[in-house]
Structure 1
Amino acid sequence: METVMMILIMAIIGSLIGGLTNKLAITMLFKPYEKKYLFGYALPFTPGLIPRRREEASTKLGEIIMGHLLTPEVFVEKLNSENTRNFLVLFIDQQLDTMEREEWSTSYVLNRIHPTLSEKILQGLNDEIYKNVEKYGNDIYEKNIDELIPSESRLKLDQYMFETHKMILGKAREYIRSERGYHDIYTMIDEFIENRGRLASSLKVFFSKDSLTLRVQSEFLKLLNQEKMNNILQTFIIQEYDELRARDVASFISESDKGKMLSNVSTFLQQQIDIEEKLNIPLYKLNPELFKSFQEKGKYQLVENIIQYLGKNFEKILDKLQLAQLIKYQIDNFELSKIESLVMEVSSKELRMITMLGFLLGGIIGVVQGIIVSIF
């Protein structure tokens, strides 16, 4: 009877030692979370295994996930799958339908990216118009007239100016012969006689105003028909024309007037182009044929381009994302209590079995020890 009691007691003691040891070992996986001290000395096995090795474990876990599980090849294979292609096509279709139904404009899309982006782009385009107008305006301002005339136009203009004297002389002769010309000559003679004193008044004794007018008219016509007058006028016109062509635009327009002209031209172009109105036109109305073509065919090419681009650059993208470091950072900053509760929740049944196995093995060892002691 004493032997049986001894074996039973040793079995109970062994069972408790085995079970509680396993229970303590499981608890020490996480606890304590921090290093503990006694009389200024750090206690062994503190902190627990996982808190102590968390940084090393997070680094290894990140490397394993990115090195063996989430590799670029895995992503590329997923990208090239039919499901991914169908998903992208469906997504584009949904966006196009929404765009058409809600009449998305360029301005609306830009403002979805940033509330003031449309306004900034509008201002930027208007500023660009002014800069270009100012640039070309300044270029023109520094050139002479001859540089601004196209070669073909210059030939026509040269020919026209070479013949201009004939037109002027012809018009002058027509004027002198006309009733108006006669009247104007008569009026000037009358004013001359009235304002020149006795000498001029004495002419009235010998000549009437009408005869003087006819005489002056005749002399004017003789003068205009002389070849020398023809040459003088032609030479004068050509000289003035050449001098005009050689002058800079700046000699005709002041700096202040130039600034006003450039501003007016810029404002006119902005009004004619009306960028703001175009930004508010629904996208599908900007070019209906192009929009329809994209709906029917273009979207498939876009999907292929996206997949090809991502496939070629996915390794670079993953390197830039630094997912291994991100995984490490997330694990390092995850609360230990939550990790513990998560592990316990997932493996509670197995951990209980390990504890029970400790009780069982401890009891068996206690029985074996009791039998050995009773025999010897």
Structure 2
Amino acid sequence: MNDGFQIILMTILGALIGGLTNMLAIRMLFRPYEAKYLFGRRLPLTPGVIPRRREEASVKMGEIITKHLLTPDAFVEKLGSRETQNFIMLFLDRQIETIESEKLTLRYFMNRLNDGLADKVVKGFNDKLREKVDEEGVNLYGRKIGTLVPEDAMTTLDGKVRDLQPQITSKVEAYINSEKGYRDFYTMTDEFIENRGRLARSLKYLMSKETIVANIRNELNKLIHHPKMSEIQVRIINDEYEKIKNSRVDELISDSDREKLVHSVYDVLRKQIDMEGILDYPISEFNRDMFESFKARGKYQLRDNIIEYMQKNTGRIVEKLQLAEVIKKQIDSFELSHIEDLVMEISSKEFRMITMLGFFLGGLIGIIQGLIVVFL
């Protein structure tokens, strides 16, 4: 065989072997996708390298991304950037503008979170209000009257009771000496004389009715100002006052009256609070000055609070998200053909260079082998 032809032949064979070997190696990174079996035994190098190591690769990829790329520190740094601050500020401005222009209410936002949530909140609030009113009604029902009055009010009330006897005496005296009192005494004297027989009727022959009434009024005036009468009045008033203070509410109010009272208190509180009206009232009109203050300054504080909260809790949020597991699942869900297309698309130039390098090195080795064979 001609020496030149032999060298050329060995060069071509070497180039083909080198290039085709590299092409096969690249191909075997993915192919075959599944293990192949012959006589029940798995053939070597099946499946390809990436399919065989897919589980391990997805785990490692997730760890690399979460430990070196999407780290909590990276999120914290991003949250603190001017870009993030501007984004949050733009979001808040748009929300404020929408709330004001469309007169959005608390009911709107609640129902956006969960349809019918506003009605549930109203019902829950009213049920809780009724429950609390019932509880307080039961508690108050078994307490003494004196324990229900605040200390300052009780002191004032004690003073009023001490002043009650002179006031009663004064009012009785005014009644006795009034024109009405005179007419009442005159009528009672006349009825007494006419209904007590001849002995009583004989009094009118001894003195006139006017004289009798005048004497009665004089004696009553003396009686109500007598020290003993004053003591009796004070004692009776104090005894009744103490009796009332030490009485339990249930001794004065029946169960049916208590139910009516509790229901009335509940109705008054429910109407005064009016949760339905609160939820339907535009947020921007609850307190106009406060809303304008929030638009001017408060929104910046809210932005800073949001960023601060997210930065403080980034570690826990990332941990809860389990990004490594999410990345692993996403990679595992890819079709192998899709992964192969992505890798080939990204590295097509490099793979072609490797193939060409195989042809070149194979041919170079073929030339060297040819020269060795010719000269040896």
- Length-normalised TM-score, structure 2: 0.85
Structure 2: gaps (5+ residues): none
How far apart are the structure 2 equivalents of 1:60 and 1:53?
Answer: 10
Alignment-derived partner of residue 263 in structure 1: 263
Q: 1:261 to 1:278 in 2, by over 3 A?
A: same
Letter of the aligned partner of 2:271 in structure 1? Answer: Q
Q: 1:44 to 1:288 in 2, by over 3 A?
A: same
Aligned-residue identity in percent: 43
Letter of the aligned partner of 2:331 in structure 1? Answer: I
Deviation at 1:317, TM superposition (A): 2.7
Alignment-derived partner of residue 99 in structure 1: 99
Alignment-derived partner of residue 161 in structure 1: 164
How far apart are the structure 2 equivalents of 1:317 and 1:243?
Answer: 65
Alignment-derived partner of residue 183 in structure 2: 179
Secondary structure at the counterpart of residue 353 of structure 2: helix
Aligned residues: 368
Deviation at 1:31, TM superposition (A): 1.8
- Length-normalised TM-score, structure 1: 0.85
Structure 1 residue 243 and structure 2 residue 246: aligned? no
Deviation at 1:139, TM superposition (A): 3.5
The answer on whether the counterparts of 2:193 and 2:200 sit within 8 Å (CA) in structure 1 is no
Give a deviation string over 1:329-364, Cα, whole Å, max 9, x none. 322232222111111122223223322332333333
Deviation at 1:126, TM superposition (A): 2.3
Alignment-derived partner of residue 79 in structure 2: 79
Q: 1:177 to 1:367 in 2, by over 3 A?
A: closer
How far apart are the structure 2 equivalents of 1:153 and 1:61?
Answer: 80
Alignment-derived partner of residue 43 in structure 2: 43
Secondary structure at the counterpart of residue 162 of structure 2: helix
Letter of the aligned partner of 2:142 in structure 1? Answer: E
How far apart are the structure 1 equivalents of 2:230 and 2:65?
Answer: 100
Deviation at 1:203, TM superposition (A): 5.4
Structure 1 residue 364 and structure 2 residue 364: aligned? yes
Give a deviation string over 1:97-141, Cα, whole Å, max 9, x none. 111111111221222222222222222332343344334333332
**Which of 320-329 and 132-141 deviates more?**
132-141
How far apart are the structure 2 equivalents of 1:244 and 1:104?
Answer: 54
Secondary structure at the counterpart of residue 143 of structure 1: coil
How far apart are the structure 2 equivalents of 1:93 and 1:355?
Answer: 58
Q: 1:155 to 1:204 in 2, by over 3 A?
A: closer
Deviation at 1:9, TM superposition (A): 3.6
Q: 1:231 to 1:295 in 2, by over 3 A?
A: closer
Letter of the aligned partner of 1:173 in structure 2? Answer: I
Deviation at 1:327, TM superposition (A): 1.8
Structure 1: gaps (5+ residues): 194-199
How far apart are the structure 2 equivalents of 1:231 and 1:220?
Answer: 22
How far apart are the structure 2 equivalents of 1:282 and 1:208?
Answer: 83
